[in-house]
Amino acid sequence: MSGGQLVYYGQDSLLESYSEDDKFVKCVIDLSIMTIEIVCKNITVKKIDMKDVSFFWNDKNK
């Protein structure tokens, strides 16, 4: 497989209070081939500076 075959594009994302317990948050992510639903107490969303990020699949030395 090539790297391009492993790419999924996000169609939609949603953060909302969980209806069964307002201390929890529900996150739904639609990746076109699958939908992911996560319910948890703490979700941290923050912007990161991409120049400080490295991914193992981009490391040509290994």
Which residues, including other chains, have CB under 8 Å from residue 24's CB and lie 6 or more apart? 17, 18, 39, 40, 41
Q: pLDDT tens-digit profile of 6-44?
A: 566 677 888 899 999 988 999 898 887 888 999 998 767
Residue 1 has pLDDT above 50, yes or no: no
B/e letters for 10-48, b = 16+ CB within 10 Å, e = fewer, are eeeeeeeeeeeeeeebbbebeeeeeeeeeeeeeeeeeee
- The pLDDT value recorded for residue 62 is 58
pTM over 0.85: no
Domain boundaries, the chain: 3-58
